[in-house]
Structure 1
Amino acid sequence: MSNERSLEAENLSSKLQIISNTVYEAAKSCQGDAIALLALLRQLEQLHREIRDGAFQATLPENRQQLYSLLKDIESEGGWPYIERMRLQAFLANLVEGANEDNSGGVVNSDRSCGW
């Protein structure tokens, strides 16, 4: 039985590596195109949401032993999966830095508070 699980784990690992390579290739082909990269990030977020709300929720533990096993795996394998969104303030700071670089002679006021 453990040999069967080992083969399943190897198969999953191989599939995940193929997915990772495909996503990296897509990101590389979009390099320099913020709109295309944003579309890629949105697609990844949508996939995350669909898997979490569908297949994952359907497999949630039904008893304490299963819950313990899941929590133990989450703790030992790196925590809960989360797709972090760029904070608007960080985005704006990057925008201001880019404007400062482009506008070497002009002044851009980056101390302005937007209330965020």
Structure 2
Amino acid sequence: MENQELKHHELQDKIESINKQITELAESCEGDCLKILHVLRELEATHRGVNDNFLSPALPTNRHRLYLLVRHMEEMGGWPYIPRMRLKSLCEKLLQEDEEE
């Protein structure tokens, strides 16, 4: 169990490092909507690739493993999802700004 916790800690450290780099990249694009949109598109493509190439093949093949996965998801958070801004939300933001002017 201790070895598994160490591996989880190492994974978490790597994820935090990557998150920091992504945040720094986004900060360097601050104010440039097109650059930030490009960053988000690349993140979405990476998410899709990890899901299709690594998560899907690793999904449980029996009830016991499925139960463990579902239990883990309930305890640690649900299915990974990257929400998108809806066009309606963007239009509402623009209308709100027009009203303020």
TM-score by length of 1: 0.83
Higher-Rg member (1/2) = 1
The Cα of 1:97 is off from its aligned counterpart by: 2.2
User: For structure 2, which runs of at least 5 residues remain unmatched after alignment?
Assistant: none
Once superposed, which parts of structure 1, at least 4 consecutive aligned residues long, lie more than 4 Å away? none
Code of the aligned partner of 1:93: E
State the secondary structure of the residue aligned to 1:82. Answer: coil
The Cα of 1:45 is off from its aligned counterpart by: 0.4
Code of the aligned partner of 1:31: E
Determine the structure 1 residue equivalent to 2:97. Answer: 98
Determine the structure 1 residue equivalent to 2:34. Answer: 35
**Aligned pairs for 1:3-42 within 5 A:** 3-42=2-41
Matches of 2:59 and 2:23, distance apart in 1: 30
Identity %: 38
Code of the aligned partner of 2:5: S
Matches of 2:30 and 2:14, distance apart in 1: 24
Query: Larger % of helix: which?
Result: 2
Counting matched residue pairs gives 101
User: For structure 1, which runs of at least 5 residues remain unmatched after alignment?
Assistant: 105-116
Question: How big is the alpha-carbon RMSD for the aligned residues of Structure 1 and Structure 2?
Answer: 1.0
Code of the aligned partner of 1:76: E
State the secondary structure of the residue aligned to 1:95. Answer: helix
Determine the structure 1 residue equivalent to 2:58. Answer: 59
